[in-house]
Amino acid sequence: MNTSEKYVVKFGGSSLASAEQFKKVCDIIKSDERRRYIVPSAPGKRCNDDTKVTDMLYACYDAVALHNKDATVEFEPIKKRFDGIIADLGLASVLSLDNEYEQICENFKQKAGSDYAASRGEYLNGIILAKYLDFEFIDAAKVIKFKSAKSNVGRVFDAELTNAALATMLSKKPYAVIPGFYGASPSGKIKTFSRGGSDFTGSIVARSVNANLYENWTDVSGFLAADPRIVDNPEIIRVITYRELRELSYMGATVLHEDAIFPVREANIPINIRNTNAPFERGTLIVHNSLDFEETSDTPIITGIAGKKDFSVISIDKDGMNNEIGFLRRILTLFEELDVNFEHIPTGIDTLCIVLESSELDKHESLPEQIRQVAGINHIVVESGLAMLAVVGRGMREKRGTAARIFAALAHNGINARIIDQGSSELNVIIGIVEDDFNKAIRSIYDIFFNTKP
Ligand code: ASP
């Protein structure tokens, strides 16, 4: 073990939901000295019908700040949750959060904001974890910087200032706990990232210390090659590139907060998704370039399959379209002016299809008519009720016959591919089908690549 190496290790809410989970987390951290910087979430659900502490905090804040309820009474269940963990970890004689609770209740009464309220889950959990591990606690408000609300619309994270503040602070601390999910603006006002944002904090910390690895511990053993609600026991993806991950996440496969990829990708730091409840499993390694890692002969051609429903397609026909300069620009300018987002534009010589989420079309029912006017087209057809599938795999580029296998599988199962789009990067094939075929299509493509020998 190279002990000069540094790992940043983030634990999700279910990994820190109870004292029992804290003990597993502590064993994981203490089993490898490289696990130096720990980013905890707030306690999550202990069972299906439990409530996450973050949700309890939002509700408590609303009750106190908006409905003038008694802060101490409303805060009691949250206090119980944290005190329960402290007692069960045997820390009650050395750690009391009573002063913190009092301060939080007071700030709720003073309407400190719902971001402040939500952030207290990570803050308090971080204090407990730091004590339990005997690591230093660093309040994220000191090192995770947001720009001031005045100069920017909404909450804007200040990446460069944060990176400098963290790098300076952590250069003096060999081991530390930095709570996830929040930071502060220059005036000291607490701000949070969007839900699930502790993943992003972990990634920011990893970049700042130039970590060798960012471990993200959760309650699944990695990314699955397909949605387990559709495919029985799908395989775990062993290695995936950042680009493949973006493609799959965009199409609905989620384990990681979508922003979490960017800081580490820039710094070329791999992310390892691991399971706190099954630490012996290797999980999924997310890398910049798979060539950095040994590809084995059993590396699958397809890395994963994901998909989303509720798409529409606008099909446009115009004779001589291929010779008409500016045709596409006029249509896309209209989309821009109306603030309509689209997903794909497969084209033919005299035809053009625009694939977009049906909700975008619902916002502008007159869109087809307006396209007809700006582009001088007679024939335009709108079809809704489509699903889009993304079949993603870096192995596709090198392997002949991948598309043939995908479409043979669909044809064999009586599924008509309505739209086909393959980027020149040959990283994915996008297929549009009718929504009723969604599950069947995913199962057939999964089967042909993962369960059938070529
Ligand atoms: N606790 C926050 C949430 O529930 C942030 C996180 O867990 O990453 O969204």
Q: How confident is the model at residue 398 (pLDDT cuts 50, 70, 90)?
A: confident
What is the whole-number distance in angstroms between the Cα of residue 266 and the centre of ligand 1?
24
Q: Is 192 in the pocket of ligand 1 (CB under 6 A)?
A: no
Q: Is the pLDDT of residue 355 over 90?
A: yes
Specify burial of residue 115 (Cβ count, 10 A radius: 0-12, 13-18, 19+): buried
Q: Is 217 in the pocket of ligand 1 (CB under 6 A)?
A: no
* Residue 150, pLDDT score: 60
Which residue in the block uniquely carries the two structure tokens 């007071």? 106
User: For residue range 30-41, what is the model confidence (pLDDT) as tens digits?
Assistant: 999 999 999 999
Q: Is the CB of 196 under 6 A from ligand 1?
A: yes
Instruction: Give percent of the chain above pLDDT 70.
Output: 95
Sign, CA torsion 58/64/68/73: positive
Pocket test for ligand 1, best of 81, 195, 205, 216 (most atoms within 8 A of CB): 195
Mutation to probe ligand 1, out of 45, 181, 199, 255 (largest number of atoms < 8 A from CB): 181
What's the average model confidence in pLDDT over 315-341?
A: 89
Closest C-alpha to 399, from 267, 264, 299, 256: 299
Could you tell me the distance, in angstroms and rounded to a whole number, from the CA of residue 147 to the centre of ligand 1? 21
Cα–Cα dist 330/187, whole Å:
46
With beta carbons less than 8 A apart as the criterion, state whether 71 and 105 touch. yes
Asked if residue 154 has pLDDT above 60, the reply is no
CB of 181 closer than 6 angstroms to any ligand 1 atom: yes
Whose CA is closest to 381, among 434, 310, 314, 334? 314
352 pLDDT exceeds 50?
yes
CA gap 451, 454 in Å, rounded: 10
